[in-house]
Structure 1
């Protein structure tokens, strides 16, 4: 029999009421100030226990829910851009922070395609909190999301817009290993938006396989505290919506460019210097050779553009320097 009580290491909150009331116990004054601003009705009722159990074991289907991404990580590559795992670390010396990304010794760093699972986790949490806040506006209290997710393999593959072939089941297990062992270390210099400290993209995970086929039947993924608190404890989480066609982009560089465009351009436009893109891509290639490839990559987008964005090559260097939107 599984215990339905969910302890939360960071605050011991179970319901939204507990969360708001806990602001007095929070040592972080910034979080406390944000929680005090949450406006809602005080006419609560406790939801039935069964409701909480359903949330834990039967996560809602996400294929029709917009994909969310962590905005503070969208202007850099915290993963390798190829399909094969990368073993050398990535180091960024930016104006606002020093960032180091390292993968596991045996399995390497997570790839941008592995990152799809992280997007699923972010989207699931955001969807759950949106649902809870709707209940709060109705005057009903509700339990906070659990600190782990248990998606069906079919649902996860559907969400990432992948087929159900046997190869994708094998790739899924490797992806989870790389995501859990990839460590991101951020030391802020002069930033209000960056996170600070060391963290992994996902927490512990557990896989159950079928004896007959050897295929994965069940997955449980622990949500890292920095992800959970960043969505559950903040009134307006720093997440952005990605077009679902993002998952169909077959080249890691195209996905990387789409993320850059989504964060800086939004619904307008943005201009980047080639040196900045090179710096933020985390590549170890010689700049001259990389430049030739990125030109070909951008040229390929004329016939098949990125979802929602048009990428063009700007030769006016003076204009690029004036308009560059990187910090």
Structure 2
């Protein structure tokens, strides 16, 4: 094993613990070449188990040592063609050498859903154009006839897909606290039944306090430029964007309005030059109710590399496909016309089709993280087909 392979092995052992490392990696050979780490083990069974259960851990350890995203291959002795189990870095941006981030959870906006399961993930509540957006409203009407509008208030700009990362971060933080709270409630009830007098658990706070450095780490960014100013600008756009769900004609549903964050930001700490180092923003009621107060919160799990997909269109595709594509390998198809509507494309259809074709072609072997993509049909019948390949046992 090379020196870098040994460093990866040591980091893996620290991540997994001695028992798991000894069971699956003790006799493995780990090699890091270019932007790929290859783990060679004695049997195909071991290769399959590591592929299914430890590929993300291998990727995290190797990316830390390499200082950049790497792909992962796990092979049995004697195999010539390695099996890639992580996305090729062609569609990913570089990360900081100390990059580390756990998986995060995106709750479905079920508290806003109708009985026919319409919610905000059906569309992009942000613009994909980071610099040239001139619109002040995004509008999408579902097949059920529900119209969802995202409006910029006053002279503010619409939020961007990068701004929306802060909404994801808030949901992640709150989901983690809500899980802890539910565990505490279970212990509380058990102790009460046992005749003891336990302290009543405290519900998660409705204020989101976070440091700028924690935001940078969550977004998997490198320090540089006016980071603090950029984050405050994102929060400003999120607060000044109103989501409106129009009433449904012929029903008792009255629609509703909400903000993407619950308040304007507040600086809690700053440098001697006035740059914010810690900030606070309120959690909006729709997020709090959906994550904390709902008996069984509905959570969508995003791949940790979602944050480093370099193209906005790739990120929008991943977010939408996470909602729509079944986990049993069944393909999901959608016309490019409807996809343009869901993504709030401002260009003509033929130009959206061109951009989407480039985006799909840019995915190595049609892979967008765990999804596989292909374009089918011709002309007005052009569609995107996506599926999740089943793991080989």
- Structure 1 length normalisation: TM-score? 0.72
| Change over 3 Å in CA distance of 1:277–1:319 after alignment to 2 | closer
- 1:79 aligned to 2:126? yes
Give the equivalent residue in structure 1 for 2:377.
315
Q: Is the contact made by 1:75 and 1:259 (CA closer than 8 Å) also made in structure 2?
A: no
Unpaired runs of 5+ residues, structure 1, are 1-61
Shift of 1:209: 5.4
* Aligned residue pair count: 260
Deviations 1:19-70 (A, max 9, x none): xxxxxxxxxxxxxxxxxxxxxxxxxxxxxxxxxxxxxxxxxxx943523243
- 1:306 aligned to 2:365? no
Shift of 1:304: 7.6
1:153 to 212, 220, 236: 212
| Change over 3 Å in CA distance of 1:283–1:118 after alignment to 2 | same
- 1:276 aligned to 2:325? no
Give the equivalent residue in structure 2 for 1:214.
274
- 1:286 aligned to 2:348? yes
Give the equivalent residue in structure 1 for 2:301.
241
Q: Is the contact made by 1:85 and 1:111 (CA closer than 8 Å) also made in structure 2?
A: no
Q: What secondary structure is seen at the aligned counterpart in 1 of 2:226?
A: helix
Q: What secondary structure is seen at the aligned counterpart in 2 of 1:184?
A: strand
Larger RCO: 1 or 2 (CA < 8 Å, sep 6+) = 1
Pick the structure with greater CA Rg: 2
Alpha-carbon separation, structure 2, partners of 1:275 and 1:161: 33
Q: What secondary structure is seen at the aligned counterpart in 1 of 2:373?
A: coil
Aligned 1:48-197 pairs, distance under 5 A:
63-71=101-109, 72-84=119-131, 86-88=133-135, 89-96=137-144, 97-139=146-188, 141-189=200-248, 196-197=255-256
Q: Is the contact made by 1:86 and 1:103 (CA closer than 8 Å) also made in structure 2?
A: no
Shift of 1:235: 1.2
Alpha-carbon separation, structure 2, partners of 1:90 and 1:130: 34
Shift of 1:303: 5.2
Q: Is the contact made by 2:102 and 2:304 (CA closer than 8 Å) also made in structure 1?
A: no
Please state which structure has a larger fraction of its residues in strand.
Answer: 2
